[in-house]
Structure 1
Amino acid sequence: MGVLSGYRVLDCSIAMAGPFAAMRLGDLGADVVKVEPLNGEWQRHVSAGGAKGNKINVSFLSLNRNKRSLAVDLKSEGGKAVLANLVKHADVFLQNYRPGVAKRLGVDYETLSALNPKLVYVSMSGYGETGPYVDRPGQDLLLQGLSGAMLSAGRDGEAPTPAGQFLVDAVTAYTAFEGVLAALLHRERTGEGQLVEVNMLDAITTLQMQELSVFTVAGKPQQRSAEPHAHAYIRSPYGTFATADGYIIVAFPALKTLGTVIGEPSFLAMDDERDAWALRDQVFAITRERLLSKTSAEWLKLMGDAGIWCGPVYGYADLVVDAQIKHNGTFVEYDHPTEGRVKTPGFAIRFSKTPSTVARGAPLAGEHTTDVLREAGYDDRRIAELMAQGAVAGPQP
C-alpha cells in the first residue's frame, strides 16, 4: 500500500507537466483517473524525438503509468454530469487548461468546490491565471528563454544554450506535486479543501534562488565569459573539457592541486578565489589545452586520486548501464498490452513503509471507463446509454 492509497485523483491535464505530477501521485498509491477525450489525449498520437510506440507514443507511456483511463466528452451534457458525479467523491482535481478554458467547460474551482468543499483543486498554467502574459503559450523552451537561466552558462557572444531536457515542465510538475501534498496535509488537519495554483514561470524562477540572489542581493552581474564556463557564478575551471578520446567534467578544483596534476606551473602561484575569477578565461583555456593530452579514464584516475571533483560525460547508453543506476533501481519495467516490455525512470523517493509501485502501465484510452463509472454508482444499463450517446467511450480498438 502506497502512502497515498485511498486518495482519488482526477487528472484532466495534458502534455508533460500535469501528467507527470499526477503520475507521481499514482506512484505513491493514489487512484489516478485520467479523464481524457473519447479518442484519448493528443499526446497518445504524436511522436517525441521521432520515436513512436507500436500503438501509443512513448511520451504518453512515460508520463501516464499508474493511472486508469476514463474517456468522456466534457462538452456533452452526459459527460459533464459524469465528471460532476466523480468530483463529489474525489480528493484532488488537476488541470492545465489554458486560462479560461476550465470556466467554459464548467470545471473551474468555484464550480467544483461547490460540489465538494474538501476538494484540492490544482490549476497549472504557463505564466499565471491573470496578467499581461496570460495568453502566451506555456511551452518549455519559451519559458527557459524568459527565465534568464540560459545566460548563466556558455560563451559570451554565442547563442544561449537551453537545457537538454524539458526542464521547466519537470520542475513545474514537481512543484505541483508538492502543492498537492501540502494541501492534502492541510485538509487532513482542517477538513478544508482549497485552490492550488502553479505556473511554469514562477517554478523555473524560484529554482534559481541562489543565482538570482547573487544578482539581487550581492549585485553581481550575470556575465558570461569568453570560454564556455558551465555557470556564470562559479569560478574557473568549471565545465566540460575534451580529452584525447571524449569529454569529462571538472568542477572548480584548487588551482595548486590542478596545476600539479596537469603539469601547469602557473597555477601553483594562483589564488583560488582571486585569480580563478580575475583570470577565469585564461585558467579555463590552459586547462582545456592540457586535458587533450590524455584519455578520459586517465584524467579521471589522476584527478580522482588527487581529490579533484571530476566525472564522466554520459550519453543515455552509458547511463542506463551505470552501476549506481542499477544499484538504485532507478528504472522500472512493466509489460504493456500494446507496447510490450516498457522500461522507464521510476519514482525517485524511497519510503521505508509505503514504497512506490507500478501497479499498472499507461492505460489505453477509455480502458477503465466502465470500472470508474460502476464505482461511481452507474449501472450497466446507464453506462451503455452514455456510450451510445457518445458522452463516454470504452477501450478503442
Structure 2
Amino acid sequence: MSDSMAHLHDLADFVRASPSSFHAVEEAGRRLTAAGFVALDEMDPWERGPGKRFVIRDGAIVAWIEPASATATTGFRILGAHTDSPGFKLKPKPTTTSQGWIQAGVEVYGGPLFNSWLDRELEFAGRLVFDDGTTALVRTGPFLRFPQLSVHLDRAVNEGLKLDPQAHLNPVIGVGDPADADVVDHLAHLAGRRGSAVAGYDIVVADTAPPAVFGLGSRLFASGRLDNLSSVHAGLTALLRVPTESEHILVFAAFDHEEVGSATRSGASGPLLADVLARIKEGSSVSDQARALAASWCLSADAGHAVHPNYAERHDPANRPIVGGGPLLKINANQRYATDAVGAAEWARACGQAGVGYQEFVSNNSLPCGSTIGPLTATRLGIRTIDVGIALLSMHSARELCGVDDPAAFTDAIEAFLAPAG
C-alpha cells in the first residue's frame, strides 16, 4: 500500500466517523487526545506555557502546539478549515404524514446540489440536548430517502429537473400509523433517553454510502463531505506529524457554519480563534500581541473546483486544474480568496519543501466566485492569509470526487507550511 493510499484510507475512516460537524470535532478530539494533546474547557483557567492542547466549541475545534522556546512575540502558523457541509437540517416538529407515508421535515442548509441527494439511503446525525442539560451525539444509519418522481409520471423530467425544496424535498422514513412514529423519539432512544426529554437538537442529513476508490487504474476517490473534511483531515494529520519544537506556535482551527456565512459563535466570523490566540498570549502586552500577529500566517484550506470535462466553458480558459494535479492555490482579484503575491510565494515555498506540485485556480470572469474563511480571518486578525485546497468535481453534491494522490500531497504541503525547513 502506498503512502497516498494509506492516507486515503485514513481520510475515509475520518469521513465515516464524521457525519455531522459535532461528530467531526469529536473524532478530531479523540485523535488529538491519543497523541497526547490535553483538552481544555473554555470556562476554566488555562495552564500557560509549552504544551499540546485543544478546545472544542460546539461544532468547532482549535488545537495548538506551543513550543518551549515561545516568547510573547512568537508568531502563529495557523491552518484553518471548516467542519460543515451543505445539505439539510431537521426542522422543529419534524414528523409529518402524507398519503400513508411517514416523512420528516427538513430545511435546506447552505447550497447543496438538490438532485444529488435523490434516491439515496441517508441518515440523521448530530447533537441532542436534554432537559437536564446533558448532550449526546447520535446517528441513525440508513433511515431516510428523498424519492424522485418516476419518469412515467413526468415525461419531461430529462429536459430539466426543477425541485421545490418545500414541496419536493420531504424525505420518507416509513409507512403506517403516524401515531407510532416520531423522529425525535427515535433519535432520543439511540441515546437511551425518551423523546420527551429532548429540549433541543442540531441534526443534519448525511449520505451513508462509504467512500470508494474507483476508475481506470484506481485513480479516483468519491466520498461525501470532501468539502471540507478533506481539509480538516489534512490539517489535523499535519499537526499530528510536525515536531513539538518549532519557531512558531502551531494552530489547527476547524470552524463550523462556513456554508451559511460563518457568522456564529463557532464560525470563522465569530470570536473563537481570536479568543484562543488571546488566551495563549495572556499576560503579554498589547504591543507584543500585535507583533505576534504581524509575524503570523494563516493557511485557509477549503476545496476548490477541478475543470469539468463536460462543462469546460464554465472555467477560466488558461487555468484549468485537474484532479491528481496537486493542491490548489486559490486566487481572486476581488479578494474572495485572501491570497496575494506574498502568500503565493509562501505556498510555493511550502510545496517546494514538501516536493509537491501545485495548481492555480481562478474563476471564469463571467461567473461569480465563492469565498472561504480566508478573507474573514485576515479581516478579523490582520494575519497574512493564503487560500488553498484540493481540486474536486461535483462540489456541494452529496458525493464529491477527487484524485487519490491529492489528499496526501495536500497534507504534506500543509506540514511544510506549519514547519518551514531551516
**TM-score scaled by length of structure 1:** 0.25
More helix by share: 1
TM-score by length of 2: 0.24
